[in-house]
Amino acid sequence: MKKRELGKSGLFISELGLGCMSLPDDLGEAKNIIDAAIHAGMNYFDTADLYDGGKNEELVGYALKGRRADVILATKAGNKMNEEGTEWTWDPSKKHIEEAVKKSLTRLGTDYIDLYQLHGGTMEDNVEETIDAFDSLKKEGLIRQYGISSIRPTVIKRFLGSSAAISVMMQYSLLDRRPEEWFPMIHDAGASVITRGTIAKGFLTSIGVTKAGQADGFAEYNANELKETVALLDEHSADLHAAAIAFVLRDKTIASALVGARTTEQLLDSIIAYENQPKSADVYLLESKIKSHTYKEHRL
């Protein structure tokens, strides 16, 4: 599997990465999925301390045991869980981030994190304090690089412009093209985009037409628009799953397209789709048939 550099960091990650949030609770099955990913050449694994109250990090750490040096491991912080583990509040303070990273390191069973990401952000945050926390962790060697997960252009621009951040995680797919407007700004800042929602909750797969017919809508599409758009994409694509992945990876700003999987079979479907990417002309044909929406809020 091909790899791309994450920003200008010297870290090279697989074009297809595993978004670990949807891993099953079963340790054995979670390990099977990660084993299959590594066997296929995937080296980028993304989790967060918020996922299942930290249990997801424990799953990932268990599954990667003995292979830490072979992967690029990413997690996130900024959401503070209550003691019961039932609710969370936004806390981008230096104190919280420095406490959170230690807990994540323990759950992951590692002494460093390759990519540590701010899991959100608002314009009301004390961004200087937050960035100072990440810079301090980097100097201590607890993290190698850092980035942000956000869909707010105002927050992204301020964070990139004031820091050494190398990545921005954004929801992006054939059905959600809102981030495209901001790719030049991110690229010019020396950062890369990591996409989540690459196959849009399964709408951009072989069962997409069926799923779309049962959904209330997605992103900027209402229920009827979603149904019509997915049917149109499916009609003009020999393999919609493959086209969806190829579409995301066509832009130089993208470092990795994340896919999730609850079973090994689901992961293998995405791996096969990646390996069977269509011709560029076919991808551009699909692109020409869909709308390119823009964010309505948090604009620069």
The residues that are catalytic are 51
Length of the chain counted residue by residue: 300
Q: Can you tell me which residue has the tokens 């072989």?
A: 206
Amino acid at 265: E
Token digits for 253? 């700003």
First to last CA, the chain: 36
State the Cα–Cα distance between residues 272 and 293, nearest whole angstrom: 29
State the Cα–Cα distance between residues 26 and 18, nearest whole angstrom: 17
Token digits for 164? 């050494």
Torsion of CA 141, 143, 145, 147, to 10 degrees: -150
Helices (H), the chain: 27-39, 55-63, 94-108, 127-140, 153-161, 183-188, 208-213, 223-235, 240-249, 264-275, 280-288
Strand partners, 145: 115
Using alpha carbons only, give the angle 77, 67, 49 rounded to the nearest 5 degrees: 15
SS3 at position 77: strand
Amino acid at 188: D
State the Cα–Cα distance between residues 150 and 66, nearest whole angstrom: 32
Identify which of 50, 124, 43 has the alpha carbon closest to the alpha carbon of residue 81.
Answer: 50
